[in-house]
């Protein structure tokens, strides 16, 4: 048990809400796949993906985290559950169905980026406000994003319980002008899109302008910028954190890995800059192996921290 910020005993510091995917990763392709072309990859591997990478990050960092996820009787679900248990990922929030629940992604991975072809039989239901009240984490991490009433009720319940809400974006087809978007961003404490998602959401072609646009509605916005690290706006300040200089092997799962490091930092660091640095460390190391397998353990973090972190701060009011 842990004690949350309101003095209430809880099972977890973090509750991760997100689906699993069974990732098939193809590397060394001569070009991006296209219709009528038969391509041969130089390398292939399978890895547990999506929210698994975040749950793995928390397990390795020693963060008390539960992963709310459904699994079926199919081979993909069984292999993911077995892998999770072998990595000491807490399984008490796993939901086991008496039917198949296949979620598969084929990833074509390049050094600069990756793409997916995915299949899922059905989406996971969100926990109810009653579930949240029972579990009472300090932080609720939503790996997806939508504007539906079910998600709004969950976020509002979290706020009423004093739970910090962090949300990824996950390539949704929304714009800031979409009805309800600005209000939903205002309910979230930390929004975690990547650069392409932030640009699509705002219609901006520059990540700093996209950050400024989103920060008008959400208290803390952290944009994951791949090889350029991350940029964030919080409490009127902008923070930039460069990525580690690493040899990129596979970028699959880098954003999910960043989320784990960042949220771990929210719990352990004295300021947002420290949390961003831990996110960048986890995201950077994740790309040095297949699908986040090279995520660090807690004892590894020190060697990657900068003695004098290169923070560049400026007031949003001066932009």
Q: Which domains does the chain have, with CATH numbers?
A: 12-32+41-305 (3.40.1190.20)
Q: What angle do CA 114, 90, 75 make, to 5 degrees?
A: 60
Q: Report the C-alpha gap between 174 and 200 in whole angstroms.
A: 8
Which conformational region is residue 7 in: left (phi greater than 0), alpha (psi within -120 to 50 degrees), or beta? left
The token pair that represents 85 in the structure block? 């248990």
Short-list 116, 247, 206, CA closest to 170:
116
Q: Return the beta strands (E) in 73-124 as ranges.
A: 94-96, 103-109, 114-120
Q: Determine the 3-state secondary structure of 27 from DSSP.
A: strand
Q: Report the C-alpha gap between 291 and 295 in whole angstroms.
A: 9
The tens place of each residue's pLDDT in the chain, 319 residues long, gives 555 555 555 689 999 999 999 999 999 889 888 889 899 999 999 999 999 999 999 999 999 999 999 999 999 999 999 999 999 999 999 999 999 999 999 988 776 677 889 999 998 999 999 999 999 999 999 999 999 999 999 999 999 999 999 999 987 899 999 999 999 999 999 999 999 999 999 999 999 999 999 999 999 999 999 999 999 999 999 999 999 999 999 988 999 999 999 999 999 999 999 999 999 999 999 999 998 899 999 999 999 998 444 443 333 333 3
- pLDDT at position 170, please? 83
């Amino acid at each position: 048990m842990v004690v949350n910020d309101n003095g209430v005993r809880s099972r977890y510091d973090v509750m991760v809400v997100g689906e699993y995917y069974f990732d098939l990763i193809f590397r060394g392709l001569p070009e991006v796949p296209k219709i009528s072309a038969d391509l041969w990859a130089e390398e292939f591997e399978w890895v547990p993906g999506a929210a698994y990478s975040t749950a793995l990050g928390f397990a390795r960092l020693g963060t008390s985290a539960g992963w709310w996820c459904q699994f079926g009787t199919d081979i993909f679900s069984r292999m993911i559950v077995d892998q999770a248990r072998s990595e000491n990922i807490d399984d008490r929030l796993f939901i086991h169905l008496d039917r198949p629940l296949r979620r598969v992604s084929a990833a074509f991975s390049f050094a600069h980026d990756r793409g997916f072809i995915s299949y899922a039989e059905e989406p996971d239901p969100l926990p109810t406000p009653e579930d949240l009240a029972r579990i009472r984490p300090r932080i609720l991490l939503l790996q997806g994003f939508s504007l539906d009433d079910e998600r709004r009720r969950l976020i509002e319940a979290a706020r009423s319980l004093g739970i910090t809400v962090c949300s990824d974006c996950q390539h949704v087809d929304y714009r800031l002008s979409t009805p309800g978007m600005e209000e939903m961003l205002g309910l979230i404490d930390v929004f975690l899109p990547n650069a392409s998602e932030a640009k699509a959401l705002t219609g901006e072609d520059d990540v700093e302008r996209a950050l400024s646009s989103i920060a008008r509605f959400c208290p803390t916005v952290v944009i994951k910028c791949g090889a350029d690290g991350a940029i964030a706006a919080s409490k009127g300040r902008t923070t930039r954190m460069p990525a580690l200089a690493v040899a990129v092997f596979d970028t699959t799962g880098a954003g999910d890995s960043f989320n784990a490091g960042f949220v771990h930092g929210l719990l352990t660091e004295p300021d947002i800059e420290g949390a961003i640095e831990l996110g960048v460390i986890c995201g950077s190391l994740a790309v040095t192996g297949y699908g986040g397998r090279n995520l660090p353990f807690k004892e590894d973090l020190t060697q990657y921290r900068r003695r004098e972190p290169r923070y560049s701060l400026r007031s949003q009011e001066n932009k």
